[in-house]
Amino acid sequence: MSLRTFLRRILGSLTTIWLVTTLVFFAIRLSHIDPLAALLGQGLASQAQAAEMRTALGLDRPLLQQYALFLSGLARGDLGRSLFDGQPVVRAIAQSLRFTAPLALSAWLLAIALGLALGSLASRASAWEAGRPARWLARLTSAALVLGTSTPVAWSGLLILWAAVPLLTGLHPGPARDVAQLALPTLTLGIASGCSLGRVAEAGLSRARREPFFIAARARGIGPLWRLEWSALRTTLAPVISLAGVEAAFLLGGTMVTETLFARPGVGRLLVESILRGDFPLVQAIVALMAAGYALFNLLADVLASSLDPRLREETE
């Protein structure tokens, strides 16, 4: 990827972040949700305190002035304070990231390993050298990938949680229980993302096995087997890496269903609670973080994919 293309991608990423945060800003403001009314209803503020907070937050100003204040604070890195506990938004997100980051990283690594392994196995359904048992196993694996991709995370998470209830009830509080509580949501997210990666790997490997270079390499008796498989996998890594970047961004900010289902603290659960409470600063900051993560991981994935596949470098330059 040339420097010009890289700078253009950075500019596009910044534009994406700006568009997403702008849409969220106006969607929240035009939804007629009054967070101060929630504070009054819960007895967390008096009428005088609510009026002072409305003035301090600029909610009594015209909408465009509020937007200008929001952009200036975003440019300075000042994302404001939570309306409900008063702590800085950056601190609240950092505290939630301590729980989301290990979950997202472990699920992402599991998804890559699972996707490549299952995709490689499923691709052998069209391999002429595979025997009948291997083909049946490959077809079952391909069907499992389709099922895993189409199954919502909420359903798969409920099934995993239901199956693991006897295990969790038999564990006493301690390191073993903590590992199990991390492993279950990791497995839920890893299966969902891994099946998507597996579908891409399956399509790429099936196509590579029919290419002349692979047929010629097998006819010449190139071995060992892992070298022959690696020659096919190399042509598939670029699209897999590109999708892995998208999945990384999803896992960083899109864990709300899993964290809510497994009662884990984290950024996703914090976003759900902030939306329900009408905590404007937190919602805007989390969405901005998700947009930034999406743009960053996509950019890194494209750079890595273009470095592995010269054809992509020629297309982008």
* Structure-block tokens of residue 52: 């002072």
Biggest alpha carbon–alpha carbon distance for the chain? 84
Domain assignment of residue 12, yes or no: no
Q: For 119-173, write each residue's pLDDT tens digit.
A: 888 887 655 455 566 677 888 888 888 888 888 888 888 888 888 777 767 666 6
Neighbouring C-beta atoms of residue 97, cutoff 10 Å: 16
Cβ(94)–Cβ(299) below 8 Å: no
What mean pLDDT is predicted for residues 207-231? 71
The amino acid occupying position 258 is T
- CA atoms 167, 102, 89, 32: torsion sign: negative
Q: For 67-86, write each residue's pLDDT tens digit.
A: 888 888 777 777 777 777 77
In the prediction, which pLDDT does 272 show? 82
Domain assignment of residue 132, yes or no: yes
Kindly report the CATH number assigned to the domain that includes residue 282.
1.10.3720.10
The yes-or-no verdict on residue 204 having pLDDT over 70 is yes
Domain assignment of residue 138, yes or no: yes
**Percent with pLDDT over 70 in the chain:** 80
Residue whose structure tokens are 């995370």: 153
Domain assignment of residue 172, yes or no: yes
Domain assignment of residue 83, yes or no: no
Domain assignment of residue 84, yes or no: no
Domain that holds residue 136: 89-316
CA–CA separation, 104 vs 164, rounded Å? Answer: 20
Q: Spell out the SS3 assignment of 155-209.
A: HHHHHHHHHHHHHHHCCCCCHHHHHHHHHHHHHHHHHHHHHHHHHHHHHHHHHHH
Domain assignment of residue 204, yes or no: yes
- Partnered with residue 81 across adjacent β-strands are 88
Which position has the higher pLDDT, 308 or 196? 196
What mean pLDDT is predicted for residues 290-316? 71
For the full predicted model, state whether its pTM sits above 0.85.
Answer: no
Domain assignment of residue 57, yes or no: no
User: How many separate domains does the chain show?
Assistant: 1
| pLDDT bracket for residue 110 (50, 70, 90) | very high
In the prediction, which pLDDT does 125 show? 63
Alpha helices in the chain (DSSP H): 3-29, 35-41, 47-57, 63-76, 89-122, 132-150, 153-169, 175-209, 212-219, 225-234, 237-253, 256-261, 267-277, 280-308, 310-316
Contacting residues for 288 by C-beta, under 8 A, at least 6 apart: 17, 20, 21, 24, 74, 79
Q: Mean pLDDT: which of 57-61, 246-250, 311-315 is highest?
A: 246-250
